[in-house]
Chains A and B, each alone.
Chain A
C-alpha cells in the first residue's frame, strides 16, 4: 500500500507536501485511527513476507522439501479421518507417516520456527518500529515490541557450563600471545592471553596473584560478545564458593580469591549497571544476602547493596553541572511565534541545537550495543537502540538538508538555503561535531542536490572554499586519514564521525575469529576494547549550551522526502543539461 502511495505522490510533486502534512496532522488529531493503523500494520509485513516465501519460491523449496509437505498432507488426512487415503499415500510415496503428538499442528510449528529463523522478519519488524520512533523522547522499546509479536529475544548462551572448579583437566584451556609466550619467565602474570576458555578467563579475572586493571576493564566491556551477564554472575558465584574437597589446596588463597570476586562485582555494578536486567539483579541480590552475610563479608555486602541502590535511583536522573554559564543563545525575534521557521534562526544556533540532540544520543551509547555488529544484525539489533538512533538521526539530517534545498522553487532560494547549510556545517566543524558535519555534507552531496549546477553557481567563491575545506577534513581518502589525524588534536567536547567506528568494528569483527582452537579469542576483544574506549573518551565532556525548546522541537520533526522523491524533484527544478536562462 505504501508503495502505491509513493508512486502517485511522486507524479504530483506539489502534493507531496500537503499529503505528508495532512497525514501527520490526521494521525496526531485522531489517536483512534493511529491506533487502528498500528494494529493493522503487521498485515503489510505478512504480505511482503508471503511474496518472498510463498509456495514455489526458491527459499521455500529449500526449507520445505517434499517429505515435509507429504507429512503435512498426511497429518491433515488423519485429522479429518481419512485413514485409508493416508495409508494409500504412504504406500505410494514410500514415506511413513510420523504421528505428531504436540498439541499444535505441525504446520503451525513449522511456521513458528521459520519466522524465528528468518532474518527478514526481524529486519522488517525492527524497520517498522524505527520508522515509528517516538521522536520526542527518542525511546524505542524494541525488545517489548518483538515480544509482542511472538519473537522472543534469547540470551544466546550456555557457552560453557562446566563448573569453574572442574576445568583443571588435561584439556588445553589457554593460549598466550606469541610475543609473550617465549618470554623468559615462568610467571603467568607476565604473559598476555591470546585465547582461553570462559572458566579460565574468569579465573584470571579473579586470580589470587595477578591483578591487571586493563584486563578487568577489557573483560567487563566485551564479555557480552562471548557470554551473557547471567552466566558471568554464575561463574563469579562459583568462583566464590570454593568446593569443600578443594579447600585444602586453596587454604591460603581462599579469602583473596573471594575478595577478588567482590571487587570484580563492585567494578561491574559501578561501570555497567545496565547489564543487570531484573532477573540477574535478583540473583545478584541473592548472592549478596546469602553469601556475603558472614562477619567477614557483611561490610562488603552492604557496600555493594548501597551501590546498587544508588544506581537504581540514578537510573532516571541525569544532567551535567557547568561552572561557566552557556554562551548567550542567538535567537530570532520570532522565537515565540507559532510560525517560527528554522531558516530564521542563526546558523550558529542551529548548529548548537543539532549538536545537543546528537550529543544526547551519542552519550548514551553503551559498549554492549557495539559488540557482535549488533546494529546490523537483524536478530541482535534490539541490543543497539542508541546506535540505531544515531544512524536514524544522521539520515534524518542529511535527508532534511536535501529536502529543504530542493523545496526552493527558484534558483535564488535554493542558493540561499545552500549557503545557510554550509554555514551550519562550518559551525558544526567549529564545535567539533564531526558527525553533524558529515550528515550535512552527505545531504549536500546526495545525488539529488549534487547535480544542481545552477544552484551551486549561486555560491560566492568564499563558500566554495569553505565547503572544500570541510570536505577535505572529512575526505574518505586513505580511509579518512585527514580526519583521523585531526580528531587526535582537537579539544573536547566533540562528537566523532560515528559511521567510521562502525566500519572499523566491522573489520575487527570480520578480520579476527571469535574462537581459536575452541577457546575465546581474547586478543580480538582487546582490539574492540581499544576502539570502544576511543568512543567513550568523547562521551564524557558535555556541551554547555542552553537548549531552546522551540528550535529543538522543530529539529526533531524535520520534514524529509525519500530518495526517489528527491531525485524527481531535482530533475524537475533543474532538468538535465538545462541552461540557467531556461529556469527560474
Chain B
C-alpha cells in the first residue's frame, strides 16, 4: 500500500541560481532528450517531467525552473517548498555567481525541507580552461554534503547525466516520509501535499 502511494507521488526538483547562469538552457537541453514524456513538455517549457528507473521502479521526477524570476526574491520559498531535491546552478566563468550559489545553499539548508537533497551544478564548463579543476567548489560541496555536477548546456555535456544521476540520488521513499508529523510543523501548509492526498484517495477508491 505504502509503496503504491509512493509510485504515485511525483518527486519535485527545483532549479535555482543567479540570472543568466544557464538554468533555462539546462532544462531546454534536457527537454530535447528522448527520455521525456511527450505530453508534459508541451504544457510549458518551464516544466519538465520524466521518469527514471531506480531498482526497477519508475521514479516520476518533476522539474521546476525559476528562470526569469530571480529578482522576485519573495517567490523562491514558494518554489522550493515541497521539493525533495534542489539543483543550484552557477556559471564557472563568473566567479560572482558562485557566491550567489553559496547563498542559495545556505538559505536552503536553513529554511527548506531538512531532508532536501542539494546538488551544485557547475555550468558552462565549455568556457573553462583545462587546467582549472574546480577544486574550491568541490571542497565546498564536500563540506556541505552536496552532490556536484559539471555541465555545459551549450554542448550538452553532462546535462542528461546530471538529471538522471540526481534523480537516482533522491530518496525513493520520499513522498510519505517527508510529510510525516515531524515535518508537518514546517510544512503543514502545502499545496503539493493537498494534491498528493487527493491523488492517493483516488487510487485507493478505484
Contacts and interface: CB of A to CB of B under 8 A. Distances in A.
A195 to B, nearest CB: 19
B180 to A, nearest CB: 15
User: Looking at A391, A395, A507, which has the most chain B CB atoms within 10 Å of its CB?
Assistant: A507
A318 to B, nearest CB: 27
Nearest to A391: B71
Contact of B44 (A402, A446, A480): A480
Contacts of B54: none
Given A376-B19, A510-B25, A478 B43 contact: yes
Nearest to A477: B195
A443 B78 CA distance: 9
Contacts of A398: 74-75
B24 A507 contact: yes
State the majority secondary structure of interface residues on A.
helix
Given A478-B43, A479-B44, A511-B28, A446 B74 contact: yes
A311 B110 CA distance: 54
A162 interface: no
A478 B47 contact: yes
A450 B66 contact: no
Interface in B159-187: 185-186
Contacts of A478: 40, 43-44, 47
B45 A442 contact: no
A385 to B, nearest CB: 14
Interface size class of B (residues with CB under 8 A): 35 or more
Interface residues of A, number: 51
User: Looking at A388, A447, A475, which has the most chain B CB atoms within 10 Å of its CB?
Assistant: A447
A503 B67 contact: yes
A511 B25 CA distance: 7
Contacts of B64: 476
Interface string B109-130: 0110000000000000000000
Given A451-B185, A479-B47, A511-B45, A375 B71 contact: yes
B38 interface: no
B185 A58 contact: no
A484 B67 CA distance: 18
Contacts, number: 123
B35 interface: no
A420 interface: no
B46 interface: yes
Interface in B22-74: 22, 24-25, 27-28, 40, 43-47, 64-74
User: Looking at A480, A484, A499, A567, which has the most chain B CB atoms within 10 Å of its CB?
Assistant: A499
Contacts of B95: 52, 58-59
23 contacts: A119-B94, A373-B20, A373-B68, A376-B20, A376-B70, A394-B74, A395-B71, A402-B74, A441-B78, A442-B72, A445-B78, A445-B81, A447-B77, A456-B189, A471-B191, A476-B78, A478-B43, A478-B44, A479-B43, A479-B44, A503-B65, A507-B46, A511-B28
Name the 7 nearest CB pairs between A and B, nearest first.
Answer: A479-B44, A506-B68, A479-B47, A398-B74, A502-B68, A507-B45, A447-B111
Given A503-B65, A507-B27, 19 more contacts: A58-B95, A59-B95, A376-B68, A391-B71, A395-B74, A398-B74, A441-B78, A442-B78, A445-B189, A446-B74, A453-B188, A476-B78, A476-B79, A479-B43, A499-B75, A502-B69, A504-B45, A505-B68, A511-B45
Interface of A: 52, 58-59, 119-120, 373, 375-377, 388, 391, 394-395, 398-399, 402, 438-439, 441-443, 445-447, 450-451, 453, 456, 468, 471-472, 475-481, 484, 499, 502-507, 510-511, 563, 567, 577
